Amino acid sequence: MTVKIKKVLAMVCLLLCGTSTAFAERVSLAELELEQNGAPVKFELVGEKLNGGYANDLLLLMKNADKKILTAYKPPVDGGYNCLLEAVQVQEDDKNVLLSIGRGNWRAGRDFLLLDFKEPKNVREVFADTDNFGVVKNVVWDGDAIKVTMADGKTHDVEIDQDMLEQINKRGKEPAYNGLTSLVAHDFDGDGKDELLSTQSIVADKKVLADVGAMWRLQEVDGKKEWKTGKYTIMLASSGKNNTINDGVDAEDYCVLPRKLVLPGGEATYPVVAYKNNPALQNEVNALLMEETKPLLEKFYHGEADVAFNVAVTSPYLLSLQLISGKSSFVHHNVHLDVETGKLIKIEDILDTKQKDLFKLLNLLNNNKSIDFTKGLPKEWYIKEDKLFFLEIVSGKEEVAGFALGNLHKFIKQQKWIGKNSD
């Protein structure tokens, strides 16, 4: 539902126009460059960063090319973690700004606000804080099943598998469904306007029982724009006790956040990175990750494959992510990022491939003769613990060959890439 926000308080104006000391206490949390009304503008989310990564007293500034503040928007959310800004096209005119704010670490939900700055003095909440309640209206236990009531009034019976039931204590407490965990924009019907896909989790005893997906379309009803929801999908969560697929990571300088989509044909989860003190680098990294992930998501949107990810390495220098795509069988695409620069790391940055002895040694140590190292190195590789693995599709099957890094020490260019593993 479209909502008009209140005018910025006089105290906010004093904050922006007052002493430099007051403003210096605030730091930049996220930024986004767009075009509004035919002119380039920059959006900057600022706030007071506290210990533990929490930021409060949030304020979203809109600046022109000369860095002059055109308006300031104060979110209805007091504060949060791992803030992100993204561009979303849900209307025919200029793109809107999607602000998301974490309620805790990567496991926690997020608050989403979709903002229209077409009239700078009258910022509109296209997707408001009340929309974050999602489409789940009630969840109760019914024996070993849950009854889920949706926004359309229909109730769905969902059986919970025995493995999951053994991991939780459901006595005395009904399952929780506290708001959205993910909100993703995609143009499904090709009309140039995005639909929104929301996901919210149903939780019992700190365990996710199921994820509920819904599609949101902005439509005009009686001269007013309103959200219409549909394609409700309830997807049971994995019951594996030690399953780390789709888990995020809280590292020293950044956080890997899972972004989950649920549709009638399947589910997709992909990574987004929030830097703790570098908004510009945050944008570069997420743009690169989306470029790598987009082909997999397109298959998901067409019902051809599910998508998942795994964090392979998190060090102060190297972040390695494994993107997984498929249905009955799966392929793996590995993305390696320089944490300090946001650039892709290639195998040539790890190993000195100009030395011919490297290939001789790899062929000698190779335990999978399906991969021929005389023709060069496969493009797909990853590091796990103290081993380097190469992946190659041979005759339609994914083949893997692993090598102890200690055996390759003469060919390793920089030891910093061989860092602490997330495992």
Q: In this prediction, what percent of the chain has a pLDDT beyond 70?
A: 92
Q: Is the pLDDT of residue 9 over 80?
A: no
Cβ pair 45, 28 in contact under 8 A: yes
Q: How far apart are alpha carbons 23 and 59 in whole angstroms?
A: 11
Q: What is the DSSP string of 69-105?
A: EEEEE--SS-EEEEEEEEEE--SSSSPEEEEEEESSS
* Long-range contact pairs involving 112-119 (C-beta distance under 8 Å, separation at least 24): 112/180, 112/183, 113/75, 113/76, 113/77, 114/88, 114/90, 114/196, 115/60, 115/73, 116/91, 117/36, 117/41, 117/43, 117/62, 117/71, 117/73, 118/36, 118/37, 118/93, 118/94
- Under the banding of pLDDT at 50, 70 and 90, the label for residue 93 is confident
Cα–Cα dist 21/18, whole Å? 8
Alpha helices in 204-308 (DSSP H): 279-301
In this structure, which amino acid lies at residue 23?
A: F
Predicted local distance difference test score (pLDDT) of residue 51 = 83
Compute the distance between CA of residue 171 and CA of residue 158 in angstroms, rounded to an integer.
18
| Residues pairing with 59 in the sheet | 46
Cα Dmax for the chain? 74
The torsion defined by the Cα of 216, 42, 28 and 117, in degrees rounded to 10, comes to -40
What is d(CA 182, CA 199) in angstroms, rounded to the nearest whole number?
5
**312-363 pLDDT, tens per residue?**
999 999 999 999 999 989 999 999 999 999 999 999 999 999 998 999 999 9
User: What's the pLDDT at 21?
Assistant: 36
204-225: average pLDDT: 92
Using an 8 Å Cβ cutoff, are 203 and 107 in contact?
Answer: no
Residue 25 in 3-state DSSP? coil
Q: Say what the pTM is.
A: 0.90
Q: Tell me the β-bridge partners of 71.
A: 62
CB 194, CB 89: distance < 8 Å: yes
Asked if residue 402 lies in contact with residue 367, where contact means CB atoms within 8 angstroms, the answer is: yes
Q: How many whole angstroms separate alpha carbon 57 and alpha carbon 321?
A: 33
Q: With respect to CATH, is domain 264-344 assigned 2.30.30.40?
A: no
Rg value, the chain, Cα = 24
Name the average pLDDT for the chain. Answer: 90
Give the mean model confidence (pLDDT) for residues 91-99: 93
Which one-letter amino acid corresponds to residue 342?
Answer: G
Kindly state the average pLDDT of the residues 225-234: 95
Question: Residue 86: what pLDDT?
Answer: 98
Identity of the residue numbered 413 = K
- Which tokens sit at 25? 């206490």
Q: Which CATH number fits domain 346-423: 3.90.640, 3.40.1000, 1.10.10, 1.10.8?
A: 3.90.640
Quick check: 142 and 132 in contact, CB under 8 A? no
16 vs 173, residue with greater confidence:
173
From 139, 174, 144, select the one nearest 155 (Cα to Cα): 139
- The answer to whether the CB of 77 falls within 8 A of the CB of 84 is no
The Cα-based distances of 160 to 66, 147, 170, 244, 245 in angstroms read 57, 11, 12, 20, 20
Other CB atoms within 10 Å distance of the CB of residue 66: 5
Matching residue, tokens 């929104």: 196
pLDDT higher than threshold 80 for residue 5? no
CB 55 within 8 A of CB 29: yes
| pLDDT band, very low/low/confident/very high, at 24 (cuts 50, 70, 90) | very low
Would you kindly state where each structural domain of the chain is located, as residue ranges? 264-344, 346-423
- Per-residue model confidence (pLDDT) at position 320: 96
The yes-or-no verdict on residue 413 having pLDDT over 50 is yes
